Chains A and B, each alone.
Chain A
Amino acid sequence: MTRDEILKNVVEILADSFELDPEEIKPESTLYEELGLDSIDAVDIFVQLRELTGRRPDPDVAREIRTVEELVSFVESELAAAAAGEPEPELPPPGAGT
């Protein structure tokens, strides 16, 4: 997938899931301040991005992402990692400790 295709997919996911106008979503838009998303939305974005990457994201990396552009770069590097057969980050099972 090219960077442009990734951007198109990301915009589609954001617009469909969060009632946003696709025209409003620019690469430099900030997810939380400008697009008005919150932490639950962030979780849902990463669940949806799995459909592009086939991988479970590292939460520490995911937490640092602030803009649409950074999201695109993240997908790009996940795809590269998947293609290179890099192992996925070791993660505790969700819900552990509750």
Chain B
Amino acid sequence: MGNDTLDVLICGGGLAGLTCALQLRHAMPDLRVTVVEAQARPLPVACHKVGESSVELGTHYLAEVLGLGEYLRREHLPKNGLRFFVGPPDTPIAERTEIGPVESPTVPSFQMDRGKLETDLRRMVEDAGVTLLEGAKVVGLTLGEGGELHVARIVMPDGAERQLTARWLFDAAGRRRLIQRELDMAREGKPVASSAWFRIHEKLEVGALVPEHERRWHARDVDHTRWLSTNHLMGPGYWVWLIPLSTGYTSIGIVTDHLHHDPSSYGRKDKALAWIAEHEPALSRWLSTRELEDFKLLRHYSAASERVFSGKDRWACLGESGQFLDPLYSPGTDFVANFNCVATRLVREDRAGTSTPELADELIDMLTGWTDDCLRTVGDNGVYFGRAEVFAPKLWWDFTHYWDCACSYFFNRGYELDLEDHRRVRGAVEQLFRLNEQAQDLFDSWAELGASDQQRRKAFVGLPPYPGFLTDRHLALAKPALGDALRPRLEEHIALQRSVLQELFLRALTELGEARALGDSMRSAGWRPHLSAERIACEQLPRDERLEHISSYARDMDRAFGRARGDGTPLSTLLTLAGFHVDRGASTPKRTRPST
């Protein structure tokens, strides 16, 4: 390779670095890309890294943008959505509320063995013409400012040192955070939470943790596909993941927030097993006859940065080297996807001589917006763990918001729009962000004001209900809205989400009864409802007549969570107490039959 200047140098060949290299070469087959990766093959099967469960956005990136769909279907497991078993302390799994899909999702996601995935990606990257230096370590960086080239010092496997010079420099070294350290921009992240994980060389059916006499609980899983979900065993301040891998292993991890649990209490194999025995005894019994293949603890896993991307100086922090929030909804691969796509676009524009600082700033601002939005959704989420009555409605919202906002933008290649179109799309996306902030404020108040009520526990909350509004939101991802069609699509989503948020508010108001406090908190969030008298009055009608007056999503919420029940105070009274005005313009529905 001599001393030639590279187009792109990628430090670190994990998920982010390898996929970025592949994407760059697909976009520009003659681009000179080198990846420096410290760990040489062979990589261990299964016991390699966390980040094994993908969700829709990241899956779309791997399957469609990189064209790995067939590979994933062949070599990894199809994922049956996110599934949660939520309950107060010391509740057997069958007695917790199960929240999960009614039917296997049509829009795919996967459970991926990271050892296998990265081994295969390394081969693909080499086949695509990338230079992969394995067993080589980046030991120093000199970032070129104001158009200068970047220089990296590398220690080769034989101990020899060499320098690489590149026009673009991407840090993909994960938690080593090379650029962040170099520029001293690393910041403490939120939420304050920790995790430990290990693998077992055996398939774990979550059903194996529930006694056979719980017939209904077992019967619910008609297709025997529950084990293919990312199963979350959830209690106050913690959750435990169970992720199956195609290589016959099961990945198991503990995640806790610092308010409820000290990571030192599960920081070693033996302590982790004791912690599991205390909090998840059924899992502990299953583990007692099995061997832990590996073990790792990560304290305070979230990581933030002041800046993660510079278009002007041509560097970026991809994947975990930039930031990491929280694994609850498995968004790690989504971050990899969003950042890699912007990185690839900016390299391409730079090469074609068409890049402008405005375009770079625009795309980078969008990335920052996603991060903040995602943080609002998952930051400090420990208060919801174990509380199905708030967590289930929150999940409902978080799913619609995720599908209608981040996924819609990404599936329709929003990051490829030209500057003006992108600005307009971002305007719409920011309205969706705003609605999400208000929704999260609602859930925070709901959790704070409400007392968890086990009397009304629902055994199974089908999310999304099938068929139904939420399933349609999910399926809408498969219907393209490219180019000019994206903004009108997002505008539709804004209107829908406004109404969905309103319904969630009515539900919270009915269940909590704390009208004044809830009203105050939503007002200070800047929320203004547009409630029709018809919608409010129909709460008093018999069921079949009421159904004629409520929206499909209001009905679906009833189907999923049960009808909202409070202390009997009419909704109109609660709204007045909350200080919200009802629009009298719409006609009041007539009672056509006396109620029984």
**Chain A residues within CB distance 8 Å of chain B:** 18-19, 21, 36, 38, 40, 43-44, 47, 50-56, 93-96, 98
Contacts and interface: CB of A to CB of B under 8 A. Distances in A.
B124 interface: no
A21 B595 CA distance: 12
Given A36-B543, A40-B555, A95-B475, A53 B219 contact: yes
Chain A interface main SS type: loop
Interface of B: 102-106, 215-216, 218-220, 222-223, 460, 462, 465-468, 471, 475, 478, 543-544, 547, 555, 559, 563, 596
Contacts of A52: 216, 219
Contacts of A56: 222-223
A96 B104 CA distance: 11
A98 B106 contact: yes
A33 to B, nearest CB: 11
27 contacts: A18-B543, A19-B563, A21-B596, A38-B544, A38-B547, A40-B467, A40-B555, A43-B466, A43-B467, A44-B465, A47-B466, A50-B220, A51-B460, A53-B219, A54-B215, A54-B219, A55-B222, A56-B222, A93-B103, A93-B104, A93-B106, A94-B103, A94-B106, A94-B466, A95-B105, A95-B471, A98-B106
Contacts of A43: 466-467
Contacts of A47: 102, 462, 466
Most buried by B among A18, A21, A52, A94: A94
A36 B468 CA distance: 20
Contacts of A53: 219
B219 A50 contact: yes
A32 B290 CA distance: 53
A53 B221 CA distance: 11
A43 B471 CA distance: 14
A25 B465 CA distance: 25
Leading 4 A-B pairs by shortest Cβ distance: A54-B219, A95-B106, A51-B216, A94-B103
Nearest to B468: A40
Given A43-B467, A54-B215, 18 more contacts: A19-B563, A38-B544, A38-B547, A40-B467, A40-B555, A44-B465, A47-B462, A47-B466, A50-B219, A50-B222, A51-B219, A51-B460, A52-B216, A54-B218, A54-B222, A95-B106, A95-B466, A98-B478
Nearest to A18: B543
Contact of A96 (B106, B462, B467, B544): B106
A44 B475 contact: no
Nearest to A35: B544
A55 B462 CA distance: 17
B83 to A, nearest CB: 16
Contacts of B544: 36, 38
A51 B555 contact: no
A40 B460 CA distance: 18
A19 to B, nearest CB: 5
